[in-house]
Chain A
């Protein structure tokens, strides 16, 4: 699995196997239950192009490369409402997590989400999951204002403005992506052991 920040994927061009640059990634959509990335909403290319009515489901992605998202052809795009599940279409059932407050289940504010960490499989058709948040730390972590990576459990919890994590998550924070994968694995193993 390769770890990357969501901000690295946003604005990445969507290119067909024929080499046509047909769109760019606008939003990343992921499931609250399990953190699996379901797909992307898209924007047109060019400064005056707005959001597109078509989206891209993760299963239609051939490769999530460093410089482009590769798809077979334009027929891989689907209506955005298909990419979103019905309850979340129009964002009624979800919301942008960037800027949301992260709270532990004991009610401690850990900070504000400034980015999302995604683990993508290197193989075609592999899984792509949200595994952590990059937060601007609060006083509770002892390093107010610094950027920290906090791992997520397999089952996420979120309301409109708050994202909930187990209190033990603050014991597995990292300062950079190197070693964060191991922190996620250790955190989830600790949670499973606690059950």
Chain B
């Protein structure tokens, strides 16, 4: 293969690896809203809004 073909393959592999790392990081850092069924209210029930 020509040298430029190896260069294209190397660049493609690097782009894929960086993309995969960023995707994993985005998934690890993604937030949510978690309901905690063990936690009891620490106040009397009643309207709060």
A129 within 8 A of B: yes
Residue of B nearest to A88 (CB): B36
A11 to B39 Cα, complex, angstroms = 24
B29 A51 Cβ-Cβ under 8 A: yes
What does the 1/0 interface line of B10-29 toward A look like (CB < 8 Å)? Answer: 00000000000010010011
A36 B28 Cβ-Cβ under 8 A: no
Q: Which of B28, B43, B49 contacts A131 (CB 8 A)?
A: B49
Which residues from A are CB-within-8-Å of B25?
47-48, 50
User: Interface residues of B toward A: which range?
Assistant: 20 to 34
B42 within 8 A of A: yes
Given contacts A34-B40, A34-B41, A86-B38, contact A184 B33 (CB under 8 A): no
A-binding residues in B (CB < 8 A): 22, 25, 28-43, 45-49
28 sampled A-B residue pairs with Cβ under 8 A: A10-B31, A26-B32, A28-B31, A29-B36, A29-B39, A30-B34, A31-B35, A32-B35, A32-B36, A33-B37, A33-B39, A33-B40, A34-B43, A35-B48, A36-B41, A43-B28, A50-B29, A85-B39, A87-B38, A93-B38, A95-B34, A96-B34, A119-B49, A131-B49, A154-B46, A158-B35, A158-B37, A184-B47
